[in-house]
């Protein structure tokens, strides 16, 4: 649900994003552009060396000037990519038969294309190209930290297109933006994914970089002295894809988490169970809380262990996850990935 109060630009952007999720043109310019702030890329660290999947990075940002702004766990960072992949620009200009140094309005075509959406189809002339250009769109990332951490952290999977060039937003954050360099970013409140009131225990489910928003919640909860949550995290291989194993161990040790289980098959099983726990089983995509229905929560949670397949059950048992939470003690479940 998107609540709109007056001319709430934040809500309009949420609405626009929901339309894109339903199939509207994803690269449309913002209806009401909100200002970006200047941030600095403080650190970038590869989290899954040796993985069979795409590289995933921890990207830490700090405001270029002034104090850390405020946000809550669950909020979103909208990043304006600083430039297109130069290889994409070169390939597009070559497909059009245009030289990169051809000047229009005092700028080379390569410069024009650097900060503009590259058209889907080749054009016939440099003038036609420049007239057709639209500004680069932003990309959204779940914030993986809280302001008290001293940095705004993102977990970003580098997307590689079929032609070998890098995705616009992920390529910018994981490759083209230089450490110490500038990043344009704005914060968007995401009320639907703020922690439920009452400080109750949470079941957090995610895979891959879906860990980002969950990390934000665990860090917020830890800072507030709350704990007892569960984390179900899925990735291909425990050896290479755990992303932040040290942090998870730390949360288990200090009680922020009372249970955590990981990866591939276990995750899919947990996801399937999750869908079947609800009166209307459904596939779930994206970031949000699925609050357990009061009437059926007891039965739903009791049904969980029976639905486990062996590898998952073994893993849960070895994690000491033998006792199920009292029905009703779980406020909500967060699902941060497409689960099938
Ligand atoms: C609310 C929200 C939160 C998000 N949080 C995160 C996050 O924490 N970490 C994160 O890494 N991403 C996150 N994303 C996804 C992110 O916004 C981008 O979609 C993603 O980085 C790819 O964008 P790009 O510009 O790099 O690729 P593009 O240039 O848009 O696309 C490159 C190619 O890859 C395909 N593609 C696009 N997205 C994906 C994808 N996710 N996987 C595989 N192929 C893809 C496209 O169809 C295209 O062919 C989030 C998205 C939303 C809506």
* Cα 64 to middle of ligand 1, angstroms: 25
Percent of the chain with pLDDT over 70: 72
CB atoms within 10 A of CB 206: 26
What integer best gives the mean pLDDT of the chain? 78
Q: Convert the pLDDT of each residue in 96-152 to its tens digit.
A: 999 999 999 999 999 999 999 999 899 999 999 999 898 888 899 999 999 999 999
One DSSP character per residue, 220-279 reads HHHHTT---EEEEEE-S-HHHH-SSHHHHHHHHHHTSEEEEEE-HHHHHHHHHHHHHTSS
Predicted local distance difference test score (pLDDT) of residue 311:
30
Q: What's the rounded mean pLDDT across residues 243-265? A: 82
**DSSP 3-state assignment of 203?**
strand
Of the listed ranges 14-18, 147-151, 217-221, the least confidently predicted one is 14-18
Q: Whose CA is closest to atom 39 on ligand 1?
A: 159
Helix or strand run (H / E) with residue 332: strand 330-335
Partners of 224 in beta bridges: none
Predicted local distance difference test score (pLDDT) of residue 266:
44
Q: Whose CA is closest to atom 51 on ligand 1?
A: 140
CA distance 236 to 206: 13
* Cα 139 to middle of ligand 1, angstroms: 7
Q: Whose CA is closest to atom 17 on ligand 1?
A: 140
User: Of the residues 139, 194, 206, which should be mutated to test ligand 1's pocket, given the most ligand atoms within 8 Å of the CB?
Assistant: 139
At 245, the pLDDT band (50, 70, 90 cuts) reads confident
Rounded to 10 degrees, the C-alpha dihedral 47/49/55/57 comes to: 20
CA distance 274 to 288: 14
Q: What's the rounded mean pLDDT across residues 28-34? A: 66
Most confident region among 69-73, 311-315, 324-328 by mean pLDDT: 69-73
Predicted local distance difference test score (pLDDT) of residue 260:
74
Q: Whose CA is closest to atom 3 on ligand 1?
A: 141
Predicted local distance difference test score (pLDDT) of residue 33:
64
CA distance 180 to 64: 10
37 exposed, middle or buried (CB, 10 Å; 0-12, 13-18, 19+)? middle
Q: What number of helices (H) and strands (E) belong to the chain? A: 11, 15
Judged against a pLDDT cut of 70, whether residue 264 lies above it is answered with no
Residue identified by tokens 């700090």 is: 62
User: Of the residues 24, 163, 167, 207, which should be mutated to test ligand 1's pocket, given the most ligand atoms within 8 Å of the CB?
Assistant: 167
At 66, the pLDDT band (50, 70, 90 cuts) reads very high
Atom of ligand 1 nearest to the CA of 140: 17
* Cα 228 to middle of ligand 1, angstroms: 31
Judged against a pLDDT cut of 60, whether residue 48 lies above it is answered with yes
Predicted local distance difference test score (pLDDT) of residue 292:
37
* Cα 107 to middle of ligand 1, angstroms: 30
Q: What is the CA radius of gyration of the chain?
A: 22
**DSSP 3-state assignment of 77?**
strand
For the packed helices 245-254 and 211-223, what is the interaxial angle rounded to 10 degrees?
30
Q: Whose CA is closest to atom 45 on ligand 1?
A: 159
Judged against a pLDDT cut of 70, whether residue 251 lies above it is answered with yes
**DSSP 3-state assignment of 106?**
coil
* Cα 177 to middle of ligand 1, angstroms: 17
Q: Convert the pLDDT of each residue in 164-191 to its tens digit.
A: 999 999 999 999 999 999 999 999 998 8
Domains in the chain, CATH or no CATH each: 35-82+137-191 (2.40.30.10), 86-135 (no CATH), 197-335 (3.40.50)
At 17, the pLDDT band (50, 70, 90 cuts) reads confident
Residues with Cβ within 6 A of ligand 1? 76, 139-142, 155-157, 159, 161, 167-171, 209, 212, 287
User: Of the residues 78, 120, 170, 216, which should be mutated to test ligand 1's pocket, given the most ligand atoms within 8 Å of the CB?
Assistant: 170
Contacts for 17-23: CB closer than 8 Å, 24+ residues apart:
17/140, 21/286
Q: Whose CA is closest to atom 52 on ligand 1?
A: 140
């Amino acid at each position: 649900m998107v609540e709109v109060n007056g001319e709430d630009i934040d809500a309009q952007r949420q609405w626009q994003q929901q339309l894109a999720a339903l199939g509207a043109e994803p690269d449309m310019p913002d209806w009401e552009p909100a200002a970006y702030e200047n941030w600095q890329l403080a650190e970038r660290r590869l989290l899954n060396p040796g993985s069979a999947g795409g590289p995933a990075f921890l990207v830490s940002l700090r405001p270029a000037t002034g104090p850390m702004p405020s946000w809550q766990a669950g909020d979103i960072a909208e990043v304006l990519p600083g430039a297109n992949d130069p290889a994409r620009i070169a390939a597009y200009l070559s497909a059009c038969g245009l030289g990169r140094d051809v000047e229009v309005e005092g700028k080379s075509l390569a410069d024009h294309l650097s900060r503009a959406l590259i058209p889907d189809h080749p054009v016939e002339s440099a003038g036609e190209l420049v007239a057709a250009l639209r500004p680069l769109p932003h990309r959204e990332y779940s914030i993986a930290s809280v302001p008290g951490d001293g940095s705004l952290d993102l977990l970003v999977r580098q997307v590689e297109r079929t032609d070998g060039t890098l995705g616009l937003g992920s390529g910018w954050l994981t490759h083209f933006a230089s450490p110490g360099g500038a990043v344009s970013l704005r914060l968007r409140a995401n009320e639907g994914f703020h922690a439920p009131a009452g400080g109750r225990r949470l079941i957090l489910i995610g895979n891959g970089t879906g860990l980002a928003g969950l990390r934000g919640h665990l860090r917020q909860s830890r800072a507030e002295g709350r704990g007892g949550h569960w984390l179900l995290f899925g990735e291909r291989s425990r050896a290479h894809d755990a992303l932040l194993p040290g942090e998870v161990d730390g949360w288990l040790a200090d009680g922020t988490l009372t249970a955590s289980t990981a990866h591939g098959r276990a995750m899919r099983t947990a996801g399937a169970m999750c869908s079947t726990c609800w009166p209307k089983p459904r596939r779930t995509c994206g970031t949000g809380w699925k609050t357990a229905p009061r009437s059926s929560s007891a039965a739903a949670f009791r049904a969980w262990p029976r639905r486990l397949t062996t590898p998952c059950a073994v893993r849960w048992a070895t994690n000491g996850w033998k006792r199920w939470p009292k029905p009703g003690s779980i406020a909500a479940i967060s699902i941060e990935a497409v689960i099938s």
